[in-house]
Amino acid sequence: MSLSIAILVVIFIFSFLVISVKERRKGDIALLAVLINSGLSSWIAIQALQGTPFEEKFYGGTVFGEIIIRADALSGWFILLTNFTMLTGILYGRRYMKAYENRSADITLHYTSYIVNHSAMIGIFCVQNMLGFLCVWELMTLSAFLMIIFEHEKMEVLKAGINYFIQAHISITFLTLAFIWVSSHTGSYDFNSIADYTVQAHPALSFMLFLCFFIGFGIKAGFVPFHTWLPYAHPAAPSHVSGIMSGVIIKLGIFGILRILLLIKVNYIEAGYTILVISVISGVYGVMLAIIQHNVKKLLAYHSIENIGIIGIGIGLGCLGMGHNNSYLAFAGFAGALLHTLNHSLFKSLLFYAAGTVYQAVHTMDIEKLGGLIKKMPKTATLFLIASLAICGLPPFNGFISEFLIYSGLFNGIVANPLSSSIMLVSALFGLVLIGGLAMLCFTKAFGIIFLGAERHPYPAPISEAELPRLFPKYVVALFILFIGLMPQLFIRLLSPVVILFTGSQAISGMPGSFINTLQTVGLSSLAFIILCIIIYQVKQKMTAARKITTSTTWSCGYTPVTPRLQYTANSFVRSYRKLVRPLLMMRKSEGTINEVFPQTTHSDTHPYDRFEAVFIDKPLKSLKRFMGRFDFLQNGSEQFYILYGIAFIIIVIIIPILIDVVVNLINLFKQV
């Protein structure tokens, strides 16, 4: 039996088992299915990364033709990181879904969708037939939609799911148009026909085809301005689904862009500049909006857009390196992008898992209502802090390694490339620095307001730390975050076969060993500093253990009734920043006025909104609604008019073929004359 058929059998058997077993066993069956699928596909991935690509062929009938299942090093890299995130997701999700045990039908559909989604993503990485690819892409879209709308009784969840579903199909439309474009000229549905077509096509047509693919995959990835579905879908979904959506599902767009760059013969300098500009805008705009969010999961969703921008910067640099024959720039760009794809899947899934634990403890995602949780949930707080430091690109964690690779490529490109290119790269460098600084501001706010201080509002129930089964997958992710930061050479060596697909083996020799040693030295030095701080703290604790500890109220400048409401809020923490960027972003503020000597209770709220969404979605939809409103008179409730409409439709259906036949005959007549 082929591995492809084995995976299909696993989907069928375990989906049936999820439906038939008792409710408390459904999560175990889903876990077993993910483990088996991960084992089968990881074997393929490891072989591909070791230089033995996997390939199987099937005959798909007269419609599909020959369907090729092919896994090269690029497929292998994405399969491995997808399997890891899907495994941690189901391990965490089994415990998370215990809160919904009274919803048997919804849980059955949820776990079935999880199994199908995992298998569909593996198919996307391996299917090399255009029609087959669209089928598995649609399967992935449908299963993700079903996971997002798990709490479909909530109107905001249903709206977020439909928003995702519509924009996902806009993505499919662009991909379908691009595939039709190629297949109509080549007569083949194999992916290799994309290369065959673009070799012969005019460079302008090749670039237009590249843009069509980029928009299709860019919507899935969440590049600005194609990102507007993402900040709604992530908060609406269960936390483990948010983790896999941000960790791997949006990375399907990154995979698609990289796959097309391998196939399409395009001007890499033009493609590199295009990707670089869009990516810098995405990164900066995403983190700017993340800072002013008050919902934890929406804040994390905008950081997904930011990190997609960082990955895109790496891809853009890799393309520029290929265009300028700069092997160092090409390697640093593509290696940084690929490693950051893995890194982001780790620390972002950990952040969503931790946010889910907080949500199930306090039943709110509003940062303004949180505080003091580090005393009640110290392990969750520590894990959230580790992921926050990693996403900010600080050593000794994994985010530092991939961002350092991209920085290295930028500096090399500025020095080695022409002046016009250097100006663009300096702008990209400034954008990346701005992204990093703003990310630190955002997560200082998020961690500080959620976990430090005192609770700002009474919690609905006593809060305790999550149990070990729910913490275990987070510990595993945190371990990998630290391991990549300390041993980067292992992972750079692992992804080298993937980079060679783009740059050739000469790029590997162009990357000096001292660079990798520098990365490891910085990571180890940072770890040594952290260990030293821990030792000093422990010594201090032992030296002061015998001293008597007295507790008293904090001095409050003579103002006696101190309350937790006197703390910084999330809004006040970023007030200076908010005032600075207000002309660039859309924020509605409502606040009461204070005119009395002894003022009454007043309230202040800020409501951030996405300017791109207002311009590119809301405004066109309002215009369309106004235009369609002009035809309201047709729906007048009169049965006579509805019968007339039916008769008119039948007449039109009969007349149109006759008119077409007449026009064709007239054209033929004129040709004969």
Contact 70, 458 (CB under 8 A): no
What integer is the mean pLDDT of 60-88? 85
DSSP state of 237: S
User: pLDDT digits over 619-631, tens only?
Assistant: 888 888 888 878 7
For residue 593, the model assigns a pLDDT of 64
Contact 254, 262 (CB under 8 A): no
Q: What phi and psi, each to the nearest 5 degrees, are found at residue 238?
A: -55, 155
| pLDDT > 90? residue 473 | yes
Q: Name the residue with tokens 């800072």.
A: 291
For residue 585, the model assigns a pLDDT of 80
Higher pLDDT, 568 or 210: 210
Contact 321, 333 (CB under 8 A): yes
| pLDDT > 70? residue 570 | yes
| pLDDT > 90? residue 658 | no
Most confident of 213-217, 330-334, 660-664: 213-217
Give helix then strand counts, H and E, for the chain. Answer: 28, 4
Q: Give dist(CA 611, CA 617) in Å, integer.
A: 10
Which region among 75-79, 354-358, 488-492, 512-516 has the lowest average model confidence (pLDDT)? 512-516
Which region among 141-145, 340-344, 401-405, 562-566 has the lowest average model confidence (pLDDT)? 562-566
Q: How confident is the model at residue 70 (pLDDT cuts 50, 70, 90)?
A: confident
What integer is the mean pLDDT of 187-212? 87
| Of 561, 548, 571, residue with least CA distance to 369 | 571
For residue 515, the model assigns a pLDDT of 65
Tokens of 488: 């980067």
Beta bridge partners of 56: 69
Angle at the Cα of 425 from the Cα atoms of 420 and 428, rounded to 5 degrees: 135
Q: Give dist(CA 429, CA 423) in Å, integer.
A: 10
Contact 258, 74 (CB under 8 A): yes
| Of 136, 110, 84, residue with least CA distance to 26 | 110
| pLDDT > 70? residue 558 | no
Q: How confident is the model at residue 511 (pLDDT cuts 50, 70, 90)?
A: low
The helix/strand/coil state of 505 is coil
Q: How confident is the model at residue 357 (pLDDT cuts 50, 70, 90)?
A: very high
Q: Give dist(CA 425, CA 434) in Å, integer.
A: 14
Written in H, E and C, the secondary structure of 375-395 is HHCHHHHHHHHHHHHHHCCCC
What integer is the mean pLDDT of 221-240? 90
| pLDDT > 90? residue 671 | no
For residue 308, the model assigns a pLDDT of 95
Contact 521, 488 (CB under 8 A): no
The helix/strand/coil state of 365 is coil
Q: Give dist(CA 117, CA 233) in Å, integer.
A: 16
| pLDDT > 70? residue 153 | yes
Q: Give dist(CA 132, CA 123) in Å, integer.
A: 9
For residue 364, the model assigns a pLDDT of 86
Which region among 229-233, 256-260, 499-503, 540-544 has the lowest average model confidence (pLDDT)? 540-544
The shares of helix, strand and coil residues in the chain, as percent rounded to the nearest 5, are 75, 5, 20
What integer is the mean pLDDT of 93-114? 85
- 656-662-664-669 Cα dihedral, nearest 10 degrees: -170
What is the maximal distance between C-alpha atoms in the chain? Answer: 112
For residue 514, the model assigns a pLDDT of 60
What integer is the mean pLDDT of 44-66? 78
Q: Give dist(CA 215, CA 253) in Å, integer.
A: 9
| pLDDT > 70? residue 597 | no
Strands 54-59 and 586-591: unpaired
Q: How confident is the model at residue 277 (pLDDT cuts 50, 70, 90)?
A: very high
Contact 228, 263 (CB under 8 A): no
| pLDDT > 60? residue 17 | yes
Tokens of 110: 């949820």
The helix/strand/coil state of 55 is strand
| pLDDT > 60? residue 244 | yes
- Work out the number of other CB atoms within 10 angstroms of the CB of residue 549: 6
Q: Give dist(CA 215, CA 217) in Å, integer.
A: 6
Q: Give dist(CA 299, CA 296) in Å, integer.
A: 5
Q: Name the residue with tokens 């892409």.
A: 137
Q: Across the chain, what does the average pLDDT equal?
A: 85
What integer is the mean pLDDT of 565-590? 78
Q: Give dist(CA 673, CA 666) in Å, integer.
A: 11
Q: How confident is the model at residue 202 (pLDDT cuts 50, 70, 90)?
A: confident
Contact 449, 569 (CB under 8 A): yes
For residue 395, the model assigns a pLDDT of 83
| Of 280, 226, 224, 221, residue with least CA distance to 251 | 221
Q: Name the residue with tokens 């299963």.
A: 143
Q: Assess whether the previous peptide bond of 225 is cis (omega < 30° from 0).
A: yes
Contact 285, 207 (CB under 8 A): no
Residue 267, class by beta-carbon neighbours within 10 Å (0-12 exposed, 13-18 middle, 19+ buried)?
Answer: middle
Tokens of 388: 């926050």
What integer is the mean pLDDT of 422-450? 91
- Work out the number of other CB atoms within 10 angstroms of the CB of residue 72: 21
What integer is the mean pLDDT of 132-161? 92
Tokens of 367: 């940062």
What integer is the mean pLDDT of 206-215? 93
Q: What proportion of the chain, given as a percentage, has pLDDT over 70?
A: 90
Buried b (16+ CB within 10 A) or exposed e, 102-131: ebeebbbbbbbbbbbbbbbbbbbbbbbbbb
Q: Name the residue with tokens 């920043």.
A: 577
| pLDDT > 70? residue 24 | yes
User: pLDDT digits over 279-295, tens only?
Assistant: 999 999 999 999 988 88
For residue 575, the model assigns a pLDDT of 81
For residue 508, the model assigns a pLDDT of 59
Q: Assess whether the previous peptide bond of 620 is cis (omega < 30° from 0).
A: no
DSSP state of 228: T
For residue 604, the model assigns a pLDDT of 66
Q: Give dist(CA 495, CA 487) in Å, integer.
A: 14
| pLDDT > 60? residue 560 | no
- 539-545-547-552 Cα dihedral, nearest 10 degrees: 100
For residue 256, the model assigns a pLDDT of 94
Q: Give dist(CA 277, CA 279) in Å, integer.
A: 5
Task: Return the CA Rg of the chain.
Answer: 28
What integer is the mean pLDDT of 490-506? 84
For residue 54, the model assigns a pLDDT of 82
